[in-house]
Structure formats: C-alpha cells, structure tokens
C-alpha cells in the first residue's frame, strides 16, 4: 500500500496497521529490530480507561498511545506485566488527516507511530528528527 489513500471507502483498521508496518519496515537497524518487538494495536478509539488515565474527555484528542516502560527506565530485574504496545487510533487519525487536507495518510500514520515509538526509546525531539527521514519516505520511495 502506498502512502496516499485513494480508496472510495475509509481505511480499515487493517489498512492503518499496514501503513504502520510499512513505516516500521523503513526504520534503520537497530531501531527496526526493536520496533518489531513492540506489539502494534489499532483500534477505532482509545478505551475509556486510557482517556481517564490521561484526563482526556474527547477521544478524538488521542491519535496514538505507548503503553509500556521506556527503555531508559527498564531494568533487567523488572518483571514485565504485559508487552510494550503502541496503539494507533483510526478515527482520530482519519479526523486529523481530513482536517489537514495536505498530508498523505501514510505519512500521518508514520508520524503518529514514530511519536509513540519515541516514548519507548526515550528519544528527544532531535533524535526523532534524525530518524524521521527513514520512516517518512516520499511516495516514490514506498
């Protein structure tokens, strides 16, 4: 699937997951290998518990969420309670995409995914900018 969306029907949960997987595949090593170990979940909206935890009222405010312990805070002595997970929320992503009107859907999904992955790695804004060219490829590069 290319970065642009030209279908007549809205992208499905699987379509959003496919766009995220394409972004993961463009990451350089060692980032890609680590990203592939993080569970990817795509839902229409965040669960009420997620919104409550973040003190959000509007589910359209949250396009993605990282659930886990950042690598910078992990210890080999820690026992994981559940796998690290990156959530992408289809309806808020589509709403933002429609509002922007000038961004390819694959680019937006990649941006949201990269932002959540940054939480896992404990990346700074400068590190995100350095990795972004690999994940946000031009249409011709996909």
SS3 35: helix
Any domain includes 75: no
- Determine the pLDDT at residue 6: 63
80 phi and psi, to 5 degrees? -65, 135
Q: What is the reported pTM?
A: 0.83
Boundaries of domain holding 59 = 13-67+81-141
H or E segment at 87?
strand 85-89
Any domain includes 6: no
C-alpha to C-alpha distance for 142 and 75, rounded to whole angstroms: 37
Any domain includes 7: no
Any domain includes 91: yes
100 vs 72, more confident: 100
C-alpha to C-alpha distance for 4 and 47, rounded to whole angstroms: 28
* Domain at 130, CATH number: 3.30.2010.20
Question: What rounded mean pLDDT belongs to the chain?
Answer: 85
Count of domains for the chain? 1
Any domain includes 4: no
Any domain includes 21: yes
Any domain includes 8: no
Q: What pLDDT digit, counting tens, does each position of 103-117 carry? A: 889 999 999 999 899
Q: What pLDDT digit, counting tens, does each position of 42-52 carry? A: 999 999 999 99
H or E segment at 1?
none
58 phi and psi, to 5 degrees? -105, 115
Q: What is the mean pLDDT of residues 31-42?
A: 93
Residues in the chain: 142
């Amino acid at each position: 699937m290319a970065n642009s969306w030209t279908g007549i029907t809205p992208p499905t949960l699987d379509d959003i997951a496919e766009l995220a997987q394409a972004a993961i595949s463009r990451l350089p090593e060692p980032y890609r290998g680590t990203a592939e170990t993080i569970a990817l979940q795509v839902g229409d909206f965040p669960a009420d518990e997620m919104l409550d935890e973040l003190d959000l009222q509007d589910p359209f405010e949250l396009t993605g969420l990282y659930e886990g312990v950042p690598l910078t805070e992990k210890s080999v002595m820690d026992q994981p309670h559940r796998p690290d997970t990156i959530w992408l929320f289809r309806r808020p992503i589509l709403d933002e995409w429609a509002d922007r009107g000038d961004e390819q859907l694959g680019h937006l999904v990649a941006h949201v995914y990269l932002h959540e992955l940054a939480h896992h790695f404990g990346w700074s804004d400068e590190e995100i900018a350095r990795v972004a060219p690999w994940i946000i490829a031009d249409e011709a590069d996909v």
